[in-house]
Every structure is written in C-alpha cells, then in structure tokens.
Amino acid sequence: MSPLPAGDLAGTDLDGVDLADPRLYGRGEPHAVWQALRDHRPVHWQPVAGRGGFWAVTRYADAEQVLTDHATFTSTRGVFLNMLGRDEPASDQQFAASDPPRHGRIRRPVQRELTVRAVARHTESLRADIVRLLAPALDGGTFDLTEVTGALPMAVLGPLLGIPAADWPRLARLVGMSVAEADPGFVLPEGVEATLRRAHRELFGYLLNLVQAHRREHRGDLVDVLAGTTVDGSPLSAGAVVANCYSLLLGASAAIPHVPNGALLELIRTGRYAAWADRPELLESGIEEALRWTAPARHFLRCATRDTRIGGVPVAAGDAVVVWIGAANRDERIFPDPHVFDLSRSPNRHLSFGDGQHYCVGAPIARLALRIFFTELFARFASFELTGEVEYVESNWLGGIKRMPVRATLR
C-alpha cells in the first residue's frame, strides 16, 4: 500500500479545486488532488476566472502525448500558466516558445555547449562554488537549508552566462518574483501583476546590458553563442538573445534548489538520510528519484493547434492544455509504489525534465550540479534533523520549499 503524503482522498472535492491558485501549493504538494484527478478526471477542464481555462492533464501517458506531439500542441502561445489568455511576446524568439523547425535552429547551438561532455569542463569550478556554499553550515548549528541550496542556481548559471558573482543574489530575487509572483516572500505591496511587471522589466534590462557588454567583448559563453546564432540567414535580434537568456536563467534558477530541499525533507522525515548518504553506489539512482519526487517545474502549458483527443477526451483547436509533471511522476500505472521515495528505483523515466523536442536543455548541467552537491553534502554531514516548520512556495509553477530549518551533525 502506498501512503499518500498530503491529505485524504475522501475529502477531495474536485469541483472546488483551483489548480491555478498558488495558495493550493503553499499548503504542500497536492498529491491527494492529483491522485483523485488521475483516477477520476485524468483530462479535466479547469476554468480560470477572466482567462478562459485549460485542460489539466495528470496521467503519465497523456502527459507524454502532449509533450512529444509538438505539431498538435504548440509552445508558441507560451509555456507557463501565467501566460494563459495573453499574447506570448517571446513567441518564435525564444526556443522554449517555438516549435520545430525554428525551435531546433535556435536551440542547437546552445545545446552543443550543454551536452554531458561539454559541461564536464565546469566540474571543478562548480565543486569549488558548492564547497563554498556549504561552508557556513559547517559550524554544526541550526540553519535554513533553503538558504544554502538557494545559491546553487547562480553558481551553475552565472559562469555559463558570464554574470558576475556580485549580481547573483539580486538576479535570484528577480527570478523568484518572476516564477513565484504570488508568494508572500516575493509579492510587492502593489500586487501580483505589478510584481511580475517589475521583475520582467528589471531582468530584461539587466540582460540587455549583459548582451550589449558581450557585443563589445566576446567571452565565449552562452550569450556569445546566442548572439552569433543565425536563423534562416538572419542573426537573432538583441531582444531574442535576451529572451533566450531569460529562459536559461529561469530554468536554472528556479528549479535546481528544490530537488535537494524536497528529497532531504523526505529522507529526514523517514529517517533514511544515512541510507543514501552512506551508500555512494546509490548516488545516481537517488538523484533520479529526487527529481521524480520533487518535480520542481510543476507544469508546462501548450495550445492545441487542431481538434484532437487526449485520453479519449475531445480537445478543441485553440484550447489550452496544461501538463502537471508532479502528477504524472506519481502515476501508479508507470511507477510501482509511486509515493515511496525509492533510492534504487529502476526504471525511472520521470518527466521532471519534460519529454520530446523541448526536453530540458539544462538537464546535463543540472545533474552535474546535483551530483556534486550531494557528494559534498554527504561527505560533510552524518545526519540532519528538522528544527522547525517547513514552508512551501506559493506558486503553481515552482514546486518547492522556501523554509526548512535543520540541525546538522558533522561527520
């Protein structure tokens, strides 16, 4: 029997559920809701006040269908729920918001710099940054684990985009405002819309300066790669380069910390930290399970280009479709005992990095960073205990924990 960590199905009122409401996620992972949807309404119409609505897809097979059939489910209308009912300004400019063949023409040069082989050259500098991040935790006292892991993304992406370390904290905050705009830790007193606008304005302004600085002086990083990319004989505009840098920044900055946060929370709660930390042979399979378990990029949006069916349910051309990755990753049709964190799970074809043409371009460097992080963490800490309340991010996109006080025992 697989225990469900959150809530109890009997009390789940699917008609009252609002999957777009960030507050749903601020209460913890909504696995009871997702399980009820998978079982009873795997392709469920979710109305959204003033913005139409979307088909919520929660089963693995349906999620795969949507993510891999780019001809029927376009990314050009935006891939995040906060774009629902709006025009996507980055359409056909950003590879994340393009369809093949244009998608591949913009993505390929970036991808060449991010293959497993290409990212291996960052191993030692990344290790040095991660060791530095862990240092303040070495006094053995109580600390907030999310403050340590929160600095991981910029350690990954700063060097890839040539962003100086002094700017990392400011950018991390602006990214938080972009992806968790309703969270009380990020929302401005002027409201959610104003938070998004300010974050976009400041981030785009920052990235535009970065792109212009690269035009004066080439540094051999991803900004130069994008600036040198031509599509159908024309170079990408400065706006398109900025839009792609933004997408790289968002991908990296948002998701990475929530993999260790969520995995460690589960292992501490179930008393199994040592079962992983003391078994180096489980490092790789444990990381894949941590990815499946946490699914920090909660959803991706598509728009149907023609009348079609998902899981037998008719979907009309123009309808928005949202794949819930955390729900697909717990589908018992694919993963035996899906609510058990199984360090040696195999096979483990989770969808945390997506699937198909848009499969996460940053997956190799994300895996490298996680491998180094867990190796260095396990080498220093024999155990952890929780010392206070855990708080979850209020966001329908960013899945994760924003506060997790722990006490660590050093080796």
What residues make contact with ligand HEM under the rule CB under 6 A? 67, 75, 79, 95-96, 107, 156-157, 247-248, 251-252, 255-256, 259, 296-297, 300, 352-354, 358, 360-362, 365-366
Q: Which is nearer to ligand HEM, 156 or 210 (CB)?
A: 156
Q: Which is nearer to ligand HEM, 243 or 277 (CB)?
A: 243
Q: How far apart are CA 190 and CA 188, in angstroms?
A: 5
Q: How far is the CB of 121 from ligand HEM (least distance, A)?
A: 14
Q: Which is nearer to ligand HEM, 187 or 369 (CB)?
A: 369
Helix, strand, coil percent values for the chain (each to nearest 5): 50, 15, 35
Q: How far is the CB of 84 from ligand HEM (least distance, A)?
A: 14
Q: Which helix (H) or strand (E) holds 100?
A: none
Q: Which helix (H) or strand (E) holds 88?
A: none
Q: How far is the CB of 191 from ligand HEM (least distance, A)?
A: 27
CB burial string 260-277: b at 16+ within 10 A, e below: bbbbbbbbbeeeebeebb
Q: How far is the CB of 358 from ligand HEM (least distance, A)?
A: 4
Q: How far apart are CA 229 and CA 244, in angstroms?
A: 11
Rounded to 5°, angle at Cα 101 from 98 and 104: 75
**Minimal CB distance residue for ligand HEM:** 362
Q: Which is nearer to ligand HEM, 67 or 408 (CB)?
A: 67
Q: How far apart are CA 381 and CA 160, in angstroms?
A: 29
Q: How far is the CB of 192 from ligand HEM (least distance, A)?
A: 23
Q: Which is nearer to ligand HEM, 251 or 286 (CB)?
A: 251
Give bridge partners of residue 56 from the DSSP assignment: 44, 322
Considering Cα of 286, then 146, then 84, then 9, what sign does the dihedral take? positive
Q: How far is the CB of 138 from ligand HEM (least distance, A)?
A: 25
DSSP 212-271: HHHHHS--SSHHHHHHT-EETTEEPPHHHHHHHHHHHHHHHHHHTTHHHHHHHHHHHHTT
Q: Which is nearer to ligand HEM, 160 or 196 (CB)?
A: 160
Q: How far is the CB of 66 from ligand HEM (least distance, A)?
A: 9
Q: Which is nearer to ligand HEM, 163 or 361 (CB)?
A: 361
- Asked whether the beta carbons of 394 and 151 are under 8 A apart, the reply is no
